[in-house]
Amino acid sequence: MKRKAATVTLLILLSVSFLFMPLSIVLGQLGVNIYLVNPEEEGVVGQTVNLQGTIDTTNGKYQIWFDKELVANHTSEGYYVNANFTIPQLSGGDYTITLRDASKNVNATYAFSITMAYYIEALMPASPKQLQEGSDVVLNVKLTGLQSGTSYYANVMVELPAPLSNTSYSRLVELTISSQEAVATAQVTYPSAAFQPEGSLTNYTGSYRVYFNETQLLAEDQFFVGFTDSSEYHRGQSVAIRAIGHQPDENATISVKYAETSAIVHSETVTASSEGIINSSWTVPSDALIGDYNITITPENTAKLISDSQLFTVLGYTVKIRTLNLAGELVPQIGVEALDQATNTIYNGTSTSDGIASLNLEKGNHTISAFWNYVKVGEMNVSITEESTFDLTCELTNLKITVQNKDGNLIPFVNLDITYQYVTTKEGLSKTGHSSGQTDLSGTFILKSILPGISYTINASLYGIVFNSGNNTVTGLPVQPVSEVTILCPSRTLTLKIIDYNLAAIPNARIELFEVTSGLFHGATTDTAGTVTVEVTFGKYRLRVYKDDILLNEIVIEVFSDTQREICCSLYNIQVSVKVVDYFNQPIPNMNVVLNRPGIGTQLATTQANGTTTFGNVIGGNMQIITYPEGLENSYEAVSRHIEEPTEIRIRLAKYILIGPFLIESSALATFIVILLAIILFVSIEVYRRKRVKPASES
């Protein structure tokens, strides 16, 4: 039973120790673990896998192995691993993913399988070039995750565009297995005689669908066949037309319409060759609008099962306009308008935060205009031949605003509220604009990219009060990179009367004034009447009053207009009384009392018959009061007080007792009393003893 109790006790102690174990120790022992793999259990060759886990080494090197291939080699973030890798080119089957702490050579593993993946891809010309009717298409077929020793086949099927999508051609091909990689591939050309049923073709415009084993939907793709050689053109480029499958020698009409308006921009009659092929070309005109165009070929008599009709785009070039002010700085939010002189069409854009507006413009001459809040501020003519970047300088100036006082001292953190009126260019509307800012440590604020030639009202304020009502208007800023304006922060007359606790004037008091925001400093000394007058800059000041380097008072005063203030220094010229009493709280006369005020010195006085002495003209604050009998400086009592008003301080000399005119130490009196009591006791015992012995002797 005792052993069982001891075991239970030990288990409880271990549990409590674990609960109170520092958290950093627990977190520091994460171990090498894999706790997330996405996808979870299987994937295909080339697929990206995300692995998350931990290692034992903080900010340590780790490796990820897929079977015997190193797929990742990085450094952890703390103990944590979050890495992506690609499944290598391996045959299908079961594998092990290993996370290794490279410093400690400790591993964690995860089971993963590679499954088969099927691919089919139609090889297309680089965009915007496109296949034309009658062209051959190469189809790439691929299979990954193979099992060794197995032959693989693909049923490749091509489905014609709608409405003939129920017509298809297929071909069974054997895939060739790579000797070095577990990949099986094949290339198939469509159309060809190998496709069944016979007669595969690309004579129709539209999207052809391609399938790898269509019944199982293992993989699919599509390719587009048109009768133009490209899907995108620019002005002046030639549109090459090749259409297949028309009746021999039949006439047809080629028509080009602007898709947005259905306006016909070109029409011509062509004749098919003896093989039923129509070949033609058309040059995109110099006044072609940007956008989509519908081109159709309409035979006179016999229509094709799928009509020759497709879209192409006159794309335009990306043209970037850098909007600059007169100082050469990039300006955001400038409206940019491009007038295409060939079509009288306007294209719009706006400069973004980087000061660049992107427009889509075609070849030709354009007039580029810049607008600041619908006011035209710049214009230039450009000729577009390709993707380009142009600088457009706008008539916008920078306004540098400086705030200072009459002595030229710069004033920081002044709030500026700026309003202005202007007239828009196109509508002729009067608008009101607004801006705001604050002067920096150098007392300046720059209002960037504003209109010259108009008036600006600038209200400057501190502490919510405008101080420049008389000089707040700027008119007719010149057309130049930077214009400057100075705002004067006015001066105010401050009259102070410094008085003490008893409301009497304090002459020769030193005052210091610090402006709370700008840090401007003013200093002065009161006259014999305790008065001082100072001219200070508009603001809010921290006022300090000194007498003989002793801080008497500190307050904050607002000087937003001519101001008169009476400042009471209640610490100055106060009366301090000290009463000295003995052990029994009896007043002790003729005691020396020392009043010590740091920074001033000491005052010495002697208590009167009532045990009290009074100090006058005292400057309050932290004080030390010491009292001691005459000639016994080492037998003192001291107290410390913070005094802010007339006060009586009571000091108890517990070590003394006043008996008549004599001041006796309480310890000596106690000793005397003990001795006296001992004598009385001894005498009493002796008397008692003798009285008891005397009767016995008489008998």
pLDDT tens digits for 320-347?
A: 999 999 999 999 999 999 999 999 999 9
pLDDT at 655 over 70: yes
pLDDT of residue 27: 42
pLDDT of residue 661: 75
pLDDT band for position 670 (cuts 50, 70, 90): low
In terms of pLDDT, which residue wins out, 399 or 216?
Answer: 399
pLDDT at 16 over 60: no
pLDDT of residue 476: 86
The Cα–Cα gap between 120 and 138 comes to: 10
pLDDT at 369 over 90: yes
pLDDT at 180 over 80: no
Give Cβ neighbours of residue 608 (< 8 Å, ≥ 6 apart). Answer: 589
pLDDT of residue 1: 43
Q: Which domains does the chain have, with CATH numbers?
A: 26-114 (2.60.40.1930), 125-226 (2.60.40), 232-314 (2.60.40.1930), 317-393 (2.60.40.1120), 397-488 (2.60.40.1120), 491-568 (2.60.40.1120), 574-656 (2.60.40.1120)
Provide the mean pLDDT of the chain: 89
Q: What is the mean pLDDT of residues 30-37?
A: 92
The Cα–Cα gap between 605 and 590 comes to: 9
Ranges of beta strands (E only) in 103-163 are 106-114, 117-122, 131-132, 137-144, 153-159
Percent of the chain with pLDDT over 90: 71
The Cα–Cα gap between 634 and 623 comes to: 20
pLDDT of residue 694: 61
Q: What is the mean pLDDT of residues 178-201?
A: 90
Does the pTM surpass 0.85? The reply is no
pLDDT at 23 over 60: no
pLDDT band for position 666 (cuts 50, 70, 90): low
pLDDT band for position 673 (cuts 50, 70, 90): confident
Residue pair 110/97 in contact (Cβ under 8 Å)? The answer is yes
Beta bridge partners of 663: 658
pLDDT band for position 667 (cuts 50, 70, 90): low
Percent of the chain with pLDDT over 70: 93
pLDDT of residue 26: 36
Summarize pLDDT for 209-254 with one digit per residue, the tens: 999 998 888 999 999 999 999 999 999 999 999 999 999 999 999 9
pLDDT band for position 540 (cuts 50, 70, 90): very high
Nearest CA among 611, 613, 608, 612 for reference residue 586 = 611
pLDDT at 518 over 50: yes
Q: What is the mean pLDDT of residues 342-368?
A: 96
Residue pair 539/404 in contact (Cβ under 8 Å)? The answer is no
pLDDT at 11 over 50: no
pLDDT of residue 78: 93
pLDDT of residue 248: 96
Give Cβ neighbours of residue 362 (< 8 Å, ≥ 6 apart). Answer: 234, 235, 288, 290, 314, 316, 317, 340, 384
Residue pair 529/508 in contact (Cβ under 8 Å)? The answer is no
pLDDT of residue 253: 97
From 239-243, 355-359, 424-428, 686-690, the region with the lowest mean pLDDT: 686-690
Residue pair 594/626 in contact (Cβ under 8 Å)? The answer is yes
pLDDT of residue 695: 55
Summarize pLDDT for 63-118 with one digit per residue, the tens: 999 999 999 999 999 999 999 999 999 999 999 999 999 999 999 999 999 999 99
The Cα–Cα gap between 254 and 271 comes to: 10
From 172-181, 505-514, 565-574, 668-677, the region with the lowest mean pLDDT: 668-677
Summarize pLDDT for 452-491 with one digit per residue, the tens: 999 999 999 999 999 998 889 998 899 999 999 999 999 9
pLDDT band for position 698 (cuts 50, 70, 90): very low
Nearest-10 Cα torsion for 59, 65, 70, 74:
-10
